[in-house]
Structure 1
């Protein structure tokens, strides 16, 4: 199954390997650099079915750090188009981008919040900082929330104009959308807080706005945290309910991660530790899912797919260590996988 194709709308991925979006902290004013050109270009030579560009801020203050990628102006769009064009011309990998807003977890460097002199004011659904040491974030007004929905849509438009095949909305890891989802970080009393339906409203509105731009050739994924590992917090039951809603909103896949919203949450790590969350959402909501989290080998990935626990395998650190993960494993299993013709002499 690992080397079998799969379609989302009309977009076909040649295999089930996905390079997970990973921040590179190497942009200048949100603009991709030569590093990104080499980084994504090299992974495109490795046979991965889908490559995902790192979390990309839809507004300047939505970036995690001042060195993170952005997509709110023409220069950023042009720098990404150069990379997209190279990937499409030199591989059969499909190319997606993850759009997000860091909310109260923005304006950081090396894991610590920057001063206002070096960073910027953060925003959130409620006046609750991520940790006690950090500044109280600005509580978004309804008008500001509506503008952010438009900002997500505008960045999605730019992504399509740059040539990306697929868009993913980042609603995980304690960033702004996740902050709205969780009753621990969202204590609003208006239409964006309180009930489950109100807490998911921001995400649903973003999904609807982005889908206005998409056609049958451009799928939409959403990354969520299946649980935040905290009592009375966002959990797998609410994740299943959310997935059921998103399925009706023309979301093609739920990319299932976990954690990130509660400072100091205790997480037990082991190989494939988030796979059960993907399996639960896939089974209960009847929607395609992606598994991510310490997936290190083709054998492990194949087992996940054969058990029906996910439809795609998102790989992060392992593909940083080995850009040719997909094609190398295809040699051993005799699977069909893209390999650049310039390197054919190394196939055997």
Structure 2
């Protein structure tokens, strides 16, 4: 068992009255597939359950609103100050818990980032104007109302079976707004010193413990730095953590803030690190904060999928807990694969942002590398193959490899043919791109899984009608990929013209002076 290889990563940890089975937490993720009456859909229920099956110690639902009147930002958010979500929340908590993980939920208030409700103002720590919208200073009586709403929301989800809550005090939401000096200009006890600016968050945590019990774990997500040229830096994050120390059970150190900004920096890329940033890019902030925290546990998050790196983080004391969102969307079995010595089977998130773009453009969260994501309800069900088919998969690119693996998983006899000498298809041209190391890793992992599966692989084999007939396949899956669209330009077929694929695969062919035709994503990357 790889608990011997990664003893610190798989060492249980007791927080409050709760024992977590390892140090790998599934950090908060929302789910855009909500029913018309404000409940999670059946797909959402299966989505969260799958993370627990994969071995995470805690699974956290994202951005549940505690205050519908002043605090929600977009429709696809669970609102906890009502009973509409009761039945599905109870089911989600039960489905997570029965597989050994602790069910958690993120409590959130948008503050000055909220969507205005009819007849109600938008409140922030201090009066200002954001995008033409007037933001009023939050009166003290409403501050206390919101403190109570956080606590009541925590008690509500505890009664539904959740074993922990995560209070969102980062990323520009209300509690972060109050701590940020650039936004909080108050002169009362809620502004000024770090103690005063952190008071709102501290009061929320203490109120939750009073209602739910001191042994009920409360995690607080903060921005260790706002990662922009007008917000606070790591020194501010350290001070925020100091104020929360001993109140919060876990201080979850994320980064970034997108509220009320007029800045050149791309905050989103730090909060959700892209492939252009190194693995574990935000660990340094958690490590620095941990030096100043005496009681609370510290969690780190951002661009983490490598078990060896995560083991080192825990072993060296940089953090007590590692958290992943996209890493467990891409491969929810990462913890159990690591524990059972199957690290070579992990599908590492390549941080391509397909999950975000799909959620925003299609209303559903899908993953470029995991076809089961958001389809768990029906694609994860065991299928009995009553009729065993002979399946010929034509093409060994990413589609063909996955098709072959899926067919073999369901017990069919699979033949996979690739006309070149390697699996990988179009993606092979990008394996030399330094920041796409996880793309190369994905191809290698899929090829490794194919070598272990009951798949008859034929490289350097072009499938002709005669060949297909000779195989005697019951089913043929054509995974032959795509071809680039070539514009009708005089000289386009000249020897001095390369396709993007050729330029990526053979950069030595590109001379010192070159013209790139097309300024889309591919052209910009070239």
Give the TM-score of the pair, scaled to structure 2: 0.58
What corresponds to 1:175 in structure 2? 173
Indicate the SS of the match to 2:225: coil
1:318 aligns with 2:318: no
Q: Of the candidates 140, 164, 171, which is equivalent to residue 166 of structure 1?
A: 164
- Specify which of 201, 209, 218 is matched with residue 211 of structure 1: 209
Asked if the contact 1:30–1:71 (Cα under 8 Å) also holds between the matched residues in 2, the reply is: no
Instruction: Kindly indicate whether structure 1 or structure 2 has the higher relative contact order, using CA contacts under 8 Å at least 6 residues apart.
Output: 1
Identify the match of residue 288 of structure 1 among 294, 297, 303: 297
User: Is the CA contact (8 Å cut-off) linking 1:229 and 1:265 kept in structure 2?
Assistant: no
The match for 2:42 among 34, 57, 60 is: 34
Name 1:157's counterpart in structure 2.
Answer: 155
Distance in 2 (alpha carbons) for counterparts of 1:127 and 1:62: 16
- Aligned positions of 1:1-348 closer than 5 A: 1-28=8-35, 30-60=38-68, 61-89=70-98, 91-107=99-115, 122-130=122-130, 133-215=131-213, 217-231=215-229, 233-249=231-247, 251-261=248-258, 263=261, 264=263, 266=265, 269-286=277-294, 287-332=296-341
The residue that corresponds to 2:402 in the other structure is none
Which has the larger Rg? 2
Q: Indicate if the aligned counterparts of 2:195 and 2:243 stay in contact, CA closer than 8 A.
A: no
Cα distance change of structure 1 residues 4 and 181 upon mapping to structure 2, 3 Å threshold: same
How many angstroms does 1:138 deviate by?
3.1
Q: CA deviation at 1:73?
A: 1.3
- Give, in whole Å, the separation in 1 of the partners of 2:288 and 2:213: 29
- Contact kept, 8 Å, 1:227 with 1:235, in 2: the verdict is yes
- 8 A Cα contact 1:183 1:232, kept in partner: no
**Contact 1:292/1:314 (CA < 8 Å) preserved in 2?**
yes
Deviations 1:43-70 (A, max 9, x none): 1111111111111100114223111122
The alignment of Structure 1 onto Structure 2 pairs a total of residues equal to 327
Does structure 1 conserve the Cα–Cα contact (< 8 Å) formed by 2:175 and 2:201? Answer: yes
Matches of 1:165 and 1:197 in 2, distance apart? Answer: 29
Gaps of 5+ in 1: 108-114, 335-341
Question: Contact between 1:42 and 1:323, CA under 8 Å: does it hold in 2?
Answer: yes
How far apart, in 2, do the equivalents of 1:278 and 1:299 lie?
A: 18
Distance, in Å, in 2 between the alignment partners of 1:187 and 1:330 is: 49
Tell whether the 8 Å contact from 1:31 to 1:70 is kept in structure 2 after alignment: no
Q: CA deviation at 1:166?
A: 0.7
Deviations 1:103-140 (A, max 9, x none): 12233xxxxxxx878x985321122345xx34122321
The unaligned stretches of length 5 or more in structure 2 are 1-7, 271-276, 344-381, 384-408, 410-451, 453-526
